[in-house]
């Protein structure tokens, strides 16, 4: 009898897994881009508002 961990290790990597990893990667990249854009916007606003 196999354990749950062994069964999960034996499962094939399917198209659904690929889509899940791709979607997660895109979400992570967009979140990182958001943080990067905020840093540039804050610097520009500081100059314009004489902060």
Residue 1 has pLDDT above 90, yes or no: no
Helices (H), the chain: 4-10, 15-48
pTM of this prediction? 0.61
pLDDT tens, position by position, 15-28: 999 999 999 999 99
Kindly list the distances between the CA atom of residue 51 and the CA atoms of 35, 37, 45, in Å, as whole numbers in the listed order: 21, 19, 8
- The domain limits of the chain are 14-48
d(CA 35, CA 16): 29
pLDDT tens, position by position, 4-16: 999 999 999 999 9
């Amino acid at each position: 009898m196999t354990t749950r961990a062994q069964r999960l290790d034996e499962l094939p990597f399917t198209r659904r897994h690929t889509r899940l990893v791709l979607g997660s990667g895109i979400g992570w990249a967009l979140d990182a881009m958001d943080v990067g854009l905020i840093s540039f916007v804050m610097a520009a606003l500081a100059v314009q508002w004489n902060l």
